[in-house]
């Protein structure tokens, strides 16, 4: 897929969201249906590379394929490392997913720190572009970082992200805003808020992602949250309620039901989701419940595939 095709969905989404008022950006209720997607959604399972056993990228790629996945997610990359990973994955049958780059101080009260944050975020996009990544995951602030309030931060963030987003387009990739739960961040907690930031940024290079762990704490309806983000959601993180492998909640909370992914997967199907769903969780258990990733990741992938089948629309 060339860069023009890669960003087509984002360009369409930017045009759609730009025309929305606040009422149009509200979360859509479960009883309301999104417009029929252009293509049926696909479940492309992958994992952050640190969760996958293997002495090198080649071995990790072989294992993720054996587990039933098809991609690997990496951290922040330099352009040199991005080129190296792209070369190492060539012919492996495993694709490059997102780059989990994390925090950049774009809503810091100090202008110099924001300027440096923009520069560093652009460098992360350079590396992601060289690797052929689907996007750079970005968090505006964690709770322990100096930051503006929502109204001030939205204005400043949107101004910076327009510039950053246009750079992302040139690199053939995108920014993926990640809402977090209030225990980790209080600036952006719900997909609806990330949609607003995408709208205000006015760039096709600014998109978002959903994380089932954080959504479990912040979203009232997983399906509605994803439908609200139609055309803008280009990555998903997977974890159980306790942030272990999906399907492992019972190991520490035997009296509670497993965290269900069915409603969220139904939302992804409604929006024709085409990107990766990636493990970001504890894959090794604890002293009481040790977990072998070679055994447990395939079980978790099988659980997720079953949940996908149950998500009827």
Percent of residues, the chain, with pLDDT higher than 90 = 88
Domain boundaries, the chain: 39-310
Mean pLDDT of 4-12: 48
Task: Please give the C-alpha separations between residue 117 and each of 207, 210, 299, in angstroms, as whole numbers.
Answer: 18, 23, 40
> How confident is the model over 52-74, as pLDDT tens digits?
999 999 999 999 999 999 999 99
Average pLDDT, the chain: 92
Comparing 13 with 239, the larger pLDDT belongs to 239
Q: List the beta bridge partners of residue 138.
A: 102, 177
- Given this model, what pLDDT does residue 15 score? 46
Looking at domain 39-310, its CATH superfamily turns out to be Divalent-metal-dependent TIM barrel enzymes (3.20.20.150)
Confidence of residue 34 (pLDDT cuts 50, 70, 90): low
pLDDT of 178 above 60: yes
Task: Please give the C-alpha separations between residue 310 and each of 139, 188, 269, 298, 304, in angstroms, as whole numbers.
Answer: 32, 30, 11, 19, 10
- Given this model, what pLDDT does residue 35 score? 74
- Given this model, what pLDDT does residue 24 score? 35
Mean pLDDT of 146-161: 98
Mean pLDDT of 118-137: 98
Contact 111, 87 (CB under 8 A): no
pLDDT of 12 above 60: no
pLDDT of 5 above 60: no
> How confident is the model over 221-248, as pLDDT tens digits?
999 999 999 999 999 999 999 999 999 9
Task: Please give the C-alpha separations between residue 260 and each of 72, 133, 197, 275, 303, in angstroms, as whole numbers.
Answer: 24, 28, 28, 20, 10
Mean pLDDT of 196-202: 98
> How confident is the model over 258-294, as pLDDT tens digits?
999 999 999 999 999 999 999 999 999 999 999 999 9
Q: What is the distance between the alpha carbons of residues 191 and 225, in angstroms, rounded to a whole number?
A: 6
pLDDT of 29 above 50: no
């Amino acid at each position: 897929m060339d860069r023009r095709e890669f960003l087509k969905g984002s360009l369409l989404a930017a045009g759609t969201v730009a025309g929305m008022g606040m009422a149009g950006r509200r979360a859509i209720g479960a009883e309301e249906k999104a417009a029929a997607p252009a293509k049926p959604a696909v479940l492309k399972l992958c994992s952050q590379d640190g969760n996958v056993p293997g002495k090198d990228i080649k071995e990790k790629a072989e294992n993720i394929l054996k587990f039933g996945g098809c991609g690997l997610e990496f951290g922040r990359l330099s352009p040199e490392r991005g080129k190296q990973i792209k070369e190492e994955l060539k012919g492996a049958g495993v694709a490059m997913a997102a780059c989990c780059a994390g925090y950049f101080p774009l809503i810091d009260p100090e202008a110099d720190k924001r300027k440096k944050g923009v520069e560093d975020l652009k460098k992360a996009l350079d590396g992601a572009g060289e690797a052929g990544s689907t996007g750079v995951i970005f968090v505006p602030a964690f709770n322990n970082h100096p930051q503006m309030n929502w109204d001030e931060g939205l204005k400043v963030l949107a101004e910076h992200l327009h510039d950053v987003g246009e750079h992302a387009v040139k690199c053939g990739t995108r920014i993926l805003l990640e809402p977090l739960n209030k225990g980790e961040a209080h600036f952006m907690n719900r997909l609806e808020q990330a949609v607003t930031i995408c709208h205000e940024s006015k760039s096709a290079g600014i998109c978002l992602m959903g994380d089932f762990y954080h959504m479990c704490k912040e979203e009232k309806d997983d399906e509605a949250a994803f439908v609200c983000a139609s055309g803008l959601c280009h990555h998903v993180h997977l974890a159980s309620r306790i942030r272990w492998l999906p399907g492992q909640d019972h190991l520490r909370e035997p009296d509670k039901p497993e965290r269900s992914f069915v409603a969220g997967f139904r939302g992804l199907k409604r929006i024709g989701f085409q990107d990766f769903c990636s493990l970001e969780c504890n894959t090794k258990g604890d002293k009481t419940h040790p977990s072998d990733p070679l055994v447990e990741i395939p079980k978790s992938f099988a659980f997720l595939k079953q949940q996908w089948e149950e998500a009827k629309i």
